[in-house]
């Protein structure tokens, strides 16, 4: 039998979905879980039947354990770079939650450390594993929509009960923390924006100092423009409604809808009746995400959302925040 990847998971709130990812992977075995909060650690340990001797409150016990191959990291965003670098330097492959970092200065560090480590590093940009968005990518790449001329995505999520902790740090602006999903999705589907401009408003979350709604417009190239809308105080269910406009068709999709709508044209280039395509709703597809990461490690394949790719998404988010504060067009700097 092939040797299994020995896995540790850090952060036992959202990070429990990484535990599920590893438990569902035939090539992996969980050898340790970690949370600095004893109650959260105990809860996860009992939920997944992970015995006490495999639980720790100190992630350095994972860093210093030579028998661990892969570690997932789902701790507050401010700790992503520090903990990931410690793990990479000790020879572990790392799957770290988004956003990769909250500050420009940290981007170069994580790129350097991950590239020098010889280990695989993946940022968990989970929308790339959302069935509706995977299907959208496939439809775009097949040429069905013709050439793209406008793309838009939104991240609307009510954080009213979520921001009385590390999420209220001004560095964790909504565009970076949650909006990075919509930005990363558009980058994946349409490429890197050359210029961004943005306006923000602050009406719904008095407990934070940053804007809770931001509209950003962006130029990808002379023929392709885009828009990202982020609202972290919205009064509605979570949505990432995304519309892709091409010269031969239009696609409307969402990570929380069981259908997507596809418009295409007839021989005379006239819009035909819409096709309604069924799609599985799975907006946190951590099982597929971990499977893809394990495959990259075991078969030495490239990781699509490596540190450089995660850094580009953060750079666009930071540029949007900068544009909304300065009222000036910002050109993201991708020279890391
Ligand atoms: N991909 C997504 O859609 C998605 C959704 C939610 C959260 N996230 C990301 O996951 C990460 C965690 O978010 P969350 O909602 O679970 O936050 P949370 O605050 O609910 O939980 C964080 C957990 O990490 C633990 N922790 C904090 N510092 C630690 C340390 N030094 N060592 C070990 N454990 C530590 C805390 O005790 C807590 O249990 C964040 O980066 C967040 O942005 C991603």
Mutate to test the pocket of ligand 1, among 74, 133, 314 (most ligand atoms within 8 A of CB): 74
| Residues shown for the chain | 336
Contact 35 CB / ligand 1 (< 6 Å): yes
Which residue's C-alpha comes closest to atom 15 of ligand 1?
A: 14
DSSP string computed for 156-213: E---TTT-SSGGGSTTS-HHHHTTHHHHHHHHHHH---SEEEEEEE--S-TTSSS-SE
Q: Domain-by-domain residue ranges, the chain?
A: 5-126+286-305, 128-283+315-326
Residue indicated by tokens 């940290």? 106
pLDDT for 17-33, tens place per residue? 999 999 999 999 999 99
| 152 secondary structure, DSSP code | E
Looking at residue 49, its pLDDT comes to: 98
What pTM was estimated for this model as a whole?
A: 0.97
For CA atoms 50, 53, 59, 64, the dihedral sign is negative
Contact 282 CB / ligand 1 (< 6 Å): no
Residues 6 or more apart whose CB falls under 8 angstroms from that of 79 comprise none
CA 132 to chain centre: 15
What crossing angle do the helices spanning 104-117 and 307-326 adopt, rounded to 10°? Answer: 180
Looking at residue 70, its pLDDT comes to: 98
> How far does residue 268's CA lie from ligand 1's centre (Å)?
52
Q: Which helix (H) or strand (E) holds 216?
A: strand 213-221
| Number of Cβ atoms within 10 Å of the Cβ of 118 | 9
Q: How far apart are CA 216 and CA 234, in angstroms?
A: 17
> How far does residue 275's CA lie from ligand 1's centre (Å)?
39
Question: 5-126+286-305 adopts what CATH topology?
Answer: Rossmann fold (3.40.50)
Q: How far apart are CA 283 and CA 254, in angstroms?
A: 9
Closest CA to 130 of 282, 290, 277: 282
| 13 secondary structure, DSSP code | S
Looking at residue 164, its pLDDT comes to: 82
CATH of domain 128-283+315-326: 3.30.360.10
Looking at residue 1, its pLDDT comes to: 53
**Low-confidence residues in the chain, pLDDT < 70:** 1
């Amino acid at each position: 039998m092939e040797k299994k990847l020995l896995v540790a998971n850090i952060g036992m709130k959202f990070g429990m979905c990484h535990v599920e990812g590893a438990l569902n992977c035939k090539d992996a075995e969980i050898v340790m879980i970690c949370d600095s909060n004893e109650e959260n650690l105990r809860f996860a340990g009992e939920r997944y039947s992970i015995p006490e001797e495999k639980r720790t409150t100190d992630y350095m016990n994972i860093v210093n354990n030579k028998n661990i191959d892969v570690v997932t990291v789902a701790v507050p965003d401010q700790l992503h770079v520090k903990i990931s670098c410690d793990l990479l330097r000790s020879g572990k492959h790392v799957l770290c939650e988004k956003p990769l970092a909250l500050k420009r200065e940290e981007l170069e560090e994580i790129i350097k450390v991950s590239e020098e480590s010889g280990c695989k590093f993946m940022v968990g940009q989970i929308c790339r594993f959302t069935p509706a968005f995977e299907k959208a990518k496939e439809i775009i790449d097949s040429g069905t929509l013709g050439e793209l001329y406008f793309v838009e995505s939104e991240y609307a999520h009510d954080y009213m009960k979520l921001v009385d902790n590390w999420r209220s740090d001004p560095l964790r602006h909504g565009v970076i923390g949650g909006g990075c999903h919509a930005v990363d999705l558009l980058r994946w589907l349409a490429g890197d924006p050359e210029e961004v401009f943005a306006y923000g408003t602050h009406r719904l979350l008095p407990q934070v100092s940053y804007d809770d709604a931001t509209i950003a417009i962006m130029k990808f190239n002379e023929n392709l423009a885009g828009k990202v809308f982020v609202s972290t105080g919205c009064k509605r269910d979570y949505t990432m409604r995304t519309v892709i406009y091409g010269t031969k068709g239009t696609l409307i999709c969402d990570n929380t809808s069981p259908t997507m709508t596809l418009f295409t044209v007839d021989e005379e280039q006239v819009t035909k009746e819409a096709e309604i395509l069924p799609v599985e709703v799975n907006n946190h597809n951590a099982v597929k995400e971990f499977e893809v990461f394990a495959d990259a490690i075991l078969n030495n394949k490239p990781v699509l959302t490596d540190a450089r790719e995660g850094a580009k998404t953060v750079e666009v988010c930071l540029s949007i925040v900068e544009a909304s504060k300065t009222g000036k067009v910002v050109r993201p700097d991708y020279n890391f």
